Amino acid sequence: MNREELHNLIDQRFNLEELKTLCFNLHVDYDSLPSEGKRAKIRELILGFERIDKINELVEKCQEMRPSVSWPNSAKNPQSLSQTEAMIPKSTQHFSAPKRINEPQKQLWIIILVASPIIGLVGIFYAFTPVIFLVLMLSLQVIIGLKINVLSEIRVFAPASAIIAIISMSLFGSTTSLDVGDIQRILGA
């Protein structure tokens, strides 16, 4: 029996749902077979199993599912079904695991959903850092009685905080606006 006879037998003995079950039992993704229509899918299935030299598996699964049908005994005569690799078109090489297309997209969304609030909180923190620093220093001076020159400390820390605050406000938006005079006052100029 040649591959055309095997093709006709599978076509006659299996309906579309049974063909999908056959593919499932053979660990072949039915939807990944490149052709449209039942006969074309059967052809691609046979060519694929010939190419990987596992046509016996295909015939054995067909025998399991349809024991009353006289299937070719490919174990006795392996050349009856197989063809040389040169005769099998290279376009039938579609026997791979289904691709997961959505994985990178899911990872990207997770990164965006986790990173956005963190970046926003960091931006808000840096926007209000000069005020927080001033309140902390004044609190320490009052509570502990430390003699810290708060203004000199703020002058060292304020330029970096002001720049980060401006960048944060421009990136994340702000209901308040800073003009040149505000920036000069923050920087102590």
**Residue 22 tokens, joined:** 């056959």
Are 7 and 34 members of one domain? Answer: yes
Residues of the chain with confidence (pLDDT) below 70: 1, 73-109, 115, 120-189
What distance in Å separates the CA atoms of residue 95 and residue 76, rounded to the nearest whole number?
26
Is residue 51 a contact partner of residue 88, using CB atoms and an 8 Å limit?
Answer: yes
Are 75 and 55 members of one domain? Answer: yes
pTM recorded for the entire structure: 0.41
pLDDT on residue 70: 85
Count up the domains in the chain and report the number.
2
pLDDT on residue 33: 84
Are 116 and 157 members of one domain? Answer: yes
Are 121 and 88 members of one domain? Answer: no
pLDDT on residue 72: 76
| Long-range pairs, 47-52, Cβ under 8 A, ≥24 | 47/88, 47/89, 47/92, 48/92, 48/93, 48/94, 48/95, 50/3, 50/81, 50/82, 50/83, 50/88, 51/85, 51/88, 51/92, 51/93, 51/95, 52/95
Report the sign of the C-alpha dihedral through residues 55, 56, 62, 66, in that order. Answer: positive
What is the domain range of residue 45? 3-92
Are 117 and 181 members of one domain? Answer: yes
47 belongs to a structural domain: yes
Q: Which of 65, 92, 119 is the last residue of a domain?
A: 92
97 belongs to a structural domain: no
pLDDT on residue 80: 47
What distance in Å separates the CA atoms of residue 50 and residue 129, rounded to the nearest whole number?
70
